[in-house]
Structure 1
Amino acid sequence: MKKIILQFGFLFFSTFAFSQAGHIMQGVGAFNMSMGGASTAQPLDISGALQWNPASISAFNDKIIKFDIGLFYSSPELSSSLPAGMMGPGSPAVSGVTKDDRGVSPMPALAMVWGKEGSKHTFGVSAFGISGFGVTFPEEANNPLSSSFDPSLNSNPVNYPQQAGGFGRVESDYMLMQIGLTWAYEITDKLSVGVEPTFNYGTLELMPNPTANPSAAGYPSTNKASTTGFGAQLGLFFDSKTGFKAGVSYKTTQDLSDLKFENTYLDNTTGNNEFDMDYPAILSFGLGYSKSDFDIALDYRMVDYKNTNGFSETGWTPTASVKGFGWDNVSIFSAGVQYKGFEKFPLRLGYTYSSNPISYDAAFFNIPATAIIANAFQFGFSYKAGKNICLDAVYHHGASDGKTFGQILNPMMASPSNPNGAIPASYVAYDMTTDLIMIGVSYKFNAKQAN
């Protein structure tokens, strides 16, 4: 029974994370999201502090528990085109757009901090969905195998059946849940250090699976493979006690075990393959300022995809499987402001910018992972329902900065002068918007004075 409960807990907190910056969540919980995810030097709520800087939980002198739940909706669109003659002599040019039909997904977060007035030690525990991507692009019905095929109408060649040279239905589900155990220590009344060992559990399902070797029947679909792994986060937090604050944290690469896929091909033959995909190291810097009725937070993060297994490599293997996603490093800028002029009803605005890690040459390899949001805007508020209870809410809207695009690639056309097998005059692109409504509740237990 304990094992079943533990597995359910893992699934509940890992199944529902969808990314904003690369495949990384820009914030955790309604409060932190409403500040644009900025909290490395501005610990206004425990979830943001635990996620972005373990040292900053020293700012809390009470025992606090917080739970958030949100509803997330994304609307990716995948488009592609092939020039005339690519499907055989005399074949017409084709192009089309496919819309994702995934629907709404829930997003939970749970955090707790133990602080004590006068103590130099603060402890915390968290369970966050920190990463994920997922798309569902249906197979193109208007394809060359259909008796009613009309190339003059919308016809997306990337989603043609594999027998017609496409991928067919494209579906992906990646989720990563992280449990953190945090300790912060006040070196002085202004400077704190923190450390957080982390345990990770993730799953990945792909249809089709491009990391496997194709057979004569094409690429296979997979089961939902799982992975576990460990890492850590270290941080420093400085509070001048005059309003100015600064912080820095470093989350190590989360070293995850290989994903072991059990594959099924279209002809019902089976096979196995493994794929190594870790979680990248993240370096965060933050500034904060609090004065009168205002709290301001600014964060910068660098996400090191170039040195992360599964993301650093790109291109085809000699057996026509995909080496990896081939992502560049990502820069993330987050900003948030809170106005506390209404005693029980503080208001917040947040903004997040993220650079696009997917280059022109790697766009085709990333069709299953299109969740790239450049600009995200948030509005949130809290309601202090009592001395110990606070309710938070946020609305988020994000959009990609134009389309991520490249050429359609075919491993059979690869050559020394065309290593990825790019099809001349072809085109593949995707973009998306995201919307999120999230609420949270925090409960502050009665503070106990130190002896």
Structure 2
Amino acid sequence: MKNRLFKLIALLFSSLVYAQAGHVMQGVGSVNMSMGGAATAQPLDISGALQWNPASISSFDDKILKLDIGLFFSSPELSSSLPPNMLFDGSPAVYGVTKDDRGVSPMPALAYVWAKPDSKHTFGASAFGISGFGVTFPQEDNLPMDMNGNPNPNWNPNNSNPINWPQALNGFGHIQSDYMLLQVGLTYAYQLTDNISIGVQPNINYASLELMPNPTANPSMVGYPSTDKATAIGFGAQFGVYYVSDFGLKLGASYKTTQKFSDFEFENTYLDGSSAKSKFNMDYPAILSLGIGYSTNSFDLALDFRRVDYENTEGFSKTGWTQTASVAGFGWDNISILSAGIQYKGIKKLPIRLGYTYSSNPISNGVAFYNVPATAIIKDAYQFGLSYKLNDRFNIDGVYHYGVSDGKTTGQMLSPMLASQTNPLGAIPGSTVSYDMNTSMVMVGVSYTFDNK
């Protein structure tokens, strides 16, 4: 019953989410996204507060319900190359680019906070899609030969992507991935003094993962299998402290523990029709957030720093080939995220916001090949947003986001058949694999403040 409930919530509120910083969403909801995700010490709305610092919901004295819905578009491109003489003596160099054809994806978020003006206790609940990645790269149809090894006289080596060749030709063929993490949190904040609050948020998480082909499974003689979506349940928590001065300065800190998940249990189907089961564990990393904010009658300023601990997270800490030629993990480095935002309140009922987010890249050159299914790495993201207060109850928010990877993530193509003590990852000499992407998003939100009498 519990699993069915999470599947329903996941379908309604987290159909698909794309990553902005590693595979961590840079923000939640229209207001928080428009501030670049900065909210640890500047809780402008309940969604950002619930996501980044549970203690900061003590700044709200009403019962507030908030729903945001966005449309997210990404345009990843995957390219690879092989050097001359790789296919046969005298064969030309090969290069090609494949564009993702996934299209637009929805991004909903739901939050609720309830409190009383004269109470030191504030409560909250949220259902956020906080993480995800997904690509769809079609199989290459400009091939050097057919499945029987007969040369193709019409082959163009200057427009043929080797990594998307069929597995019979040592490529991956059609590459598709879908990963989504829905987090449901129950939040409690307590106001220790007029200036300091603490908060805690236990979380229960639901994740789904699909990989085609599935490199975490053992390959057969005909290659890696495809798999249907597998699901996993995880648990974790978040703790925070929030300080607001009497002259506009605000400070905040929070720590989200590693969200520990059960294994994804895959039902794999190989190209010859045989089947087998496999397991893969992928947790969500611990995140330390530090924030500073400052408010005047006309402006709100926010700056957040985050450190994401991929190097101690199952599924991301390991890399390389196992003894059975499956992939051990993504092999990501820890990353730093900087979020900054400014809100101008000089126009009555129409605050305007600008936001910026910077993220370092968790994927080093050596493991770029392993991360083809998770190419959604954005270095710089820019946001513009505004709100309009309809009346004392309703508020409407909007944001436009644009993100760029600022250069390709590039490495060498790898093969377990070439792995050795001197070449542990099996790098193919002279080969390349790379990917980059841009993202854009439009999101609108509405909040309703209940009568608190």
Instruction: Provide the TM-score with structure 2 as the length reference.
Output: 0.97
Pair 1:326-2:331 in alignment: yes
Secondary structure class of the residue paired with 2:12: helix
Residue 88 to residue 41, structure 1, CA distance change in 2 (3 Å): same
Pair 1:144-2:149 in alignment: no
1:279 deviates by 0.1
Residue 145 to residue 196, structure 1, CA distance change in 2 (3 Å): same
User: Aligned to 1:357, which of 348, 353, 362?
Assistant: 362
Secondary structure class of the residue paired with 1:8: helix
Secondary structure class of the residue paired with 2:374: coil
Secondary structure class of the residue paired with 2:158: coil
Q: Counterpart of 2:89?
A: 89
Pair 1:277-2:282 in alignment: yes
Secondary structure class of the residue paired with 2:39: coil
* Distance (Å, rounded) in 2 between the aligned partners of 1:306 and 1:2: 31
1:4 deviates by 5.5
Q: Counterpart of 2:228?
A: 223
Q: Counterpart of 2:76?
A: 76
* Distance (Å, rounded) in 2 between the aligned partners of 1:149 and 1:267: 28
Pair 1:197-2:220 in alignment: no
User: Aligned to 2:392, which of 387, 390, 393?
Assistant: 387
Residue 211 to residue 46, structure 1, CA distance change in 2 (3 Å): same
CA contact (8 A) 1:16 1:108 kept: no
Pair 1:56-2:61 in alignment: no
* Distance (Å, rounded) in 1 between the aligned partners of 2:306 and 2:168: 44
* Distance (Å, rounded) in 2 between the aligned partners of 1:221 and 1:227: 18
Secondary structure class of the residue paired with 1:368: helix
1:231 deviates by 0.1
* Distance (Å, rounded) in 2 between the aligned partners of 1:176 and 1:204: 9
Q: Counterpart of 2:179?
A: 174
Letter in 2 for 1:172: S
Secondary structure class of the residue paired with 1:198: strand
Count residues in correspondence: 448
1:10 deviates by 2.4
Pair 1:212-2:217 in alignment: yes
Letter in 2 for 1:247: G
Letter in 1 for 2:67: F
Q: Which segment is superposed worse, 426-435 or 80-89?
A: 80-89
* Distance (Å, rounded) in 2 between the aligned partners of 1:202 and 1:144: 39
1:139 deviates by 0.4
1:2 deviates by 9.3
Map 1:362-373 to 2 at 5 A. Answer: 362-373=367-378
CA contact (8 A) 1:282 1:304 kept: yes
CA contact (8 A) 2:352 2:386 kept: yes
CA contact (8 A) 2:16 2:179 kept: no
1:17 deviates by 1.2
User: Aligned to 1:262, which of 247, 262, 267?
Assistant: 267
Share of identical aligned residues, percent?
66
Secondary structure class of the residue paired with 1:166: coil
Pair 1:164-2:156 in alignment: no
* Distance (Å, rounded) in 2 between the aligned partners of 1:45 and 1:294: 15
Structure 2's unaligned 5+ residue stretches are 147-151
Letter in 1 for 2:440: D
Q: Counterpart of 2:149?
A: none
Letter in 2 for 1:14: S
* Distance (Å, rounded) in 2 between the aligned partners of 1:410 and 1:188: 60
Pair 1:17-2:22 in alignment: no
Q: Counterpart of 1:410?
A: 415
Instruction: Provide the TM-score with structure 1 as the length reference.
Output: 0.98
User: Aligned to 1:233, which of 215, 238, 242?
Assistant: 238
* Distance (Å, rounded) in 1 between the aligned partners of 2:381 and 2:2: 40
* Distance (Å, rounded) in 1 between the aligned partners of 2:277 and 2:23: 25
1:430 deviates by 0.2
Deviation digits for residues 300-344 of structure 1 (CA, Å, limit 9, x no counterpart): 000000000000010000111000000000100000000011111
Q: Counterpart of 2:122?
A: 122
CA contact (8 A) 2:144 2:157 kept: no
CA contact (8 A) 2:43 2:49 kept: yes
Deviation digits for residues 338-383 of structure 1 (CA, Å, limit 9, x no counterpart): 0011111110000000000000111000000000000000000001
Residue 268 to residue 236, structure 1, CA distance change in 2 (3 Å): same
* Distance (Å, rounded) in 2 between the aligned partners of 1:127 and 1:271: 34
Letter in 1 for 2:411: G
1:12 deviates by 2.3
CA contact (8 A) 1:144 1:164 kept: no
* Distance (Å, rounded) in 1 between the aligned partners of 2:252 and 2:301: 14
* Distance (Å, rounded) in 2 between the aligned partners of 1:6 and 1:72: 23
User: Aligned to 1:314, which of 305, 314, 319?
Assistant: 319
Root-mean-square deviation over aligned CA pairs: 1.2
* Distance (Å, rounded) in 2 between the aligned partners of 1:337 and 1:91: 56
1:145 deviates by 3.0
Q: Counterpart of 1:36?
A: 36
1:5 deviates by 5.8
1:230 deviates by 0.3
1:169 deviates by 0.6
CA contact (8 A) 1:142 1:148 kept: no
Deviation digits for residues 52-108 of structure 1 (CA, Å, limit 9, x no counterpart): 000000000000000000000000000000011212333221001000000000000
* Distance (Å, rounded) in 1 between the aligned partners of 2:316 and 2:129: 20
* Distance (Å, rounded) in 2 between the aligned partners of 1:52 and 1:84: 51
Pair 1:296-2:301 in alignment: yes
1:148 deviates by 5.3
Q: Which segment is superposed worse, 8-17 or 122-131?
A: 8-17
Runs of 4+ in 1 over 4 A off after TM superposition: 1-6
Letter in 2 for 1:312: S
Map 1:417-436 to 2 at 5 A. Answer: 417-436=422-441
* Distance (Å, rounded) in 2 between the aligned partners of 1:419 and 1:122: 53
Secondary structure class of the residue paired with 2:159: coil
CA contact (8 A) 2:6 2:206 kept: no
Structure 1's unaligned 5+ residue stretches are none
* Distance (Å, rounded) in 1 between the aligned partners of 2:153 and 2:201: 59
